[in-house]
Amino acid sequence: QLARALAKSSGPGKTADGVPVKLLVNLGAPHELDAAAAADSEGVGLLRTEFLYLSKVTAPTVAEQTESYARVFDAFSGRKVVVRTLDAGADKPLKFVDHGHEENPALGVRGLRLTKRHPEMLTDQLAAIAAAASKGDADVWVMAPMVATPREAAEFAAAAHEHGLRTAGTMVEVPAAALRAHQVLEGCDFASIGTNDLGQYTMAADRMQGELAELLDPWQPALLELVHLTAQAGKDTGKPVGVCGEAASDPLLALVLVGLGVTSLSMAPSSIPAVRVTLAAHSLAQCSELAKLALTAADAAEARQLVSDASQSIA
Ligand code: PEP
Ligand code: MG
């Protein structure tokens, strides 16, 4: 029965009562492009651009970057592509940048923070994205990683708009950005929640530390609370709020995220069919009930159990 449901599943994501939820793919390397483009999705919700930089001994030129982005936009012609600007730092070091020594690279000069030291890296990247976008007809959005304050969000959006990129947003992966989501969203066009880092920073648990997996579980109610805050700020300001961290690829958790108010989910291409089928079997009201239940739990395991039990009684 599940196989038949999966085979039948196609088209835009929606709940059983027809509320649209965009299902998008995460893309991080050129060899993933064909599979990502072939997936039945409404586009790319997270284009990780580190692949253009990490192996290089000199910074990629604007022309080189433009060509790479154009290839992605071409493959997603007519669909949306959310490009995340470079997320490098001492944790993901660049050969052509002196990152210095950092005791705590996850808390250091990474993501948007690095561009304060090297402004040309951001302006070159925005110029390349804009040039590539103007050549094709993908709906190109840009967003910045590791934003902590509304001012950073607004400054990034202004820089993107100056380059002719109309839709500029903020990744919400630092708890401060979630706590100030209203102000963050007032200064930019959308938010995309990165649950991997938001979990790490909320739980004060290094995401590379396997021993802390339980704290890093995306079902942690504290993380869900921050998703809720951000999604509600999206509703209040009329701006889209999606999730692009790994949480979006768990069908049951996807129901909870939708119930908390997020309007798009971006995941590995292989996760899309199961998320689409599960979503289509639940109304928005049911998703909201499941989300409320999850928020009552004392830890991640209890949240998962409560939601799993309740969703079985719905089905
Ligand atoms: C995240 O932090 O959830 C995210 C999507 O970005 P990355 O995994 O690339 O840090
Ligand atoms: Mg991140």
The answer to whether the CB of 48 is under 6 A from ligand 1 is: yes
What would the pLDDT profile of 139-166 be if each residue is shown by its tens digit?
A: 999 999 999 999 999 999 999 999 999 9
User: Ligand 2 centre and the CA of 85: distance in Å?
Assistant: 11
Q: Residue 106 carries which side chain, given as an amino acid letter?
A: A
The answer to whether the CB of 195 is under 6 A from ligand 1 is: yes
Active site residues: 244
Please give the annotated binding residues, written as ranges. Answer: 48, 84, 173, 196-197, 207
Return the closest-CA partner of residue 231 out of 189, 193, 201, 278.
193
Number of C-beta neighbours around residue 11 at 10 A: 10
Question: What local confidence, expressed as pLDDT, does residue 8 receive?
Answer: 53
Question: What local confidence, expressed as pLDDT, does residue 273 receive?
Answer: 96
Distances (CA, A) of 149 to 152, 155, 170, 301: 5, 10, 10, 32
Q: Which residues surround ligand 2, an ion (CB under 5 A)?
A: 173, 194, 197
- Helix 300-314 to helix 221-237 angle (10° resolution) is 70
**Per-residue 3-state assignment (H helix, E strand, C coil) for 250-281:** CHHHHHHHHHHCCCEEEECHHHHHHHHHHHHC
Distance CA(152)–CA(48), nearest Å, equals 20
Question: What local confidence, expressed as pLDDT, does residue 2 receive?
Answer: 60
Residue ranges in the chain modelled with pLDDT below 50: none
Q: Name the token pair of 189.
A: 């066009």
Question: What local confidence, expressed as pLDDT, does residue 313 receive?
Answer: 86
By the 8 A CB rule, do 279 and 13 touch?
yes
By the 8 A CB rule, do 145 and 28 touch?
no
The answer to whether the CB of 194 is under 6 A from ligand 1 is: yes
Question: What local confidence, expressed as pLDDT, does residue 1 receive?
Answer: 58
Question: What local confidence, expressed as pLDDT, does residue 65 receive?
Answer: 98
Distance CA(261)–CA(219), nearest Å, equals 16
What would the DSSP string read from start to end of 149-214?
Answer: SHHHHHHHHHHHHHTT--EEEEEE-SHHHHHTHHHHHHTSSEEEE-HHHHHHHHHT--TT-GGGHH
Question: What local confidence, expressed as pLDDT, does residue 3 receive?
Answer: 62
**End-to-end Cα, the chain, rounded Å:** 13
Question: What local confidence, expressed as pLDDT, does residue 216 receive?
Answer: 97
